[in-house]
């Protein structure tokens, strides 16, 4: 399969590439690095990346930013930032990438544990993750030509514990390899409209 992987250079993106890279042709997309450059928050850059990639069998995303702040400090602008980047950014992959995607091809988007198991400072992240859940379940009903869509929702990764562990007191972490396999389940399997929780 020819797979377009957004955020390929990141912690989750690298785990996905390790799982799928030997079996498939990966086109790595990053804001700065990778085979192609595009920003989820910039529709024109996404259109250009899809055009360059040509026909593809899977669009997978391991990118998307939100702001973490205490609830009483989160402004409209902070919420809008996450909506524009992680939420609408991934929705754009579906609305702009569908034409390039083969019959039966798949979208795999990323959310995270925080809408099920929240942390202090994570209200915007939880909101965006919950919205992605709803989007994926509904979009699966209407995608044309047998196209599929799933959402990977991991706990904090082992590999991210040093960076973010202090914000996740008492949370269990999961190995990146399990998250990579969740993408494989979405891309190589037949499921659609599923939230694939890795906890
Ligand atoms: N790490 C975890 O434990 C964990 C757990 C659950 C959920 N998540 C979610 O998984 C996603 C990825 O997390 P991560 O820890 O792997 O991130 P990361 O290590 O910071 O990597 C993010 C990757 O995505 C790219 N990227 C970032 N913003 C982008 C944008 N707007 N458009 C296009 N590419 C963009 C980055 O490219 P550049 O470096 O070029 O900017 C980088 O390659 C996030 O949405 C995060 O909330 C992470």
Residue 38: its pLDDT value, please? 98
Prediction pTM value: 0.99
Quick check: CB of 3 below 6 Å from ligand 1?
Answer: no
Q: What angle do CA 152, 155, 158 make, to 5 degrees?
A: 115
Q: For residue 157, give the ligand 1 atom closest to its CA.
A: 3
- Which structure tokens are listed for 30? 């990053």
Residue 174: its pLDDT value, please? 98
H/E stretch holding 180 reads: helix 176-188
Q: What does the pLDDT look like over 4-29, one tens digit per residue? A: 999 999 999 999 999 999 999 999 99
Q: What does the pLDDT look like over 178-195, one tens digit per residue? A: 999 999 999 999 999 999
Please choose, from the candidates 155, 152, 154, 148, the residue with its C-alpha nearest in 3D space to the C-alpha of residue 189.
148
């Amino acid at each position: 399969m020819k797979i377009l992987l957004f955020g390929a250079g990141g912690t989750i993106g690298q785990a996905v590439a390790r799982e799928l890279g030997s079996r498939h042709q990966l086109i790595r997309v990053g804001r700065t690095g990778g085979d192609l450059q595009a920003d989820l928050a910039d529709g024109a850059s996404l259109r250009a990346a899809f055009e360059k990639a040509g026909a593809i069998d899977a669009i997978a995303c391991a990118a998307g930013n939100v702001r973490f702040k205490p609830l009483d400090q989160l402004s409209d602008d902070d919420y809008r930032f996450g909506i524009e980047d992680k939420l609408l950014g991934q929705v754009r992959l579906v609305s702009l990438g569908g034409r390039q995607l083969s019959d039966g091809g798949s979208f795999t988007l990323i959310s995270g544990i925080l809408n099920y198991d929240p942390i202090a400072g994570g209200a915007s992240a939880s909101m965006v993750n919950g919205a992605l859940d709803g989007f994926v379940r509904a979009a699966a009903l209407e995608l044309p030509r047998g196209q599929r869509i799933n959402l990977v929702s991991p706990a904090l990764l082992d590999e991210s514990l040093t960076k973010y562990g202090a914000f996740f007191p008492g949370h269990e972490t999961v190995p990146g390899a399990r998250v990579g396999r969740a993408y494989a389940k979405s891309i190589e399997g037949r499921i659609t409209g599923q939230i694939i929780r890795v906890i």
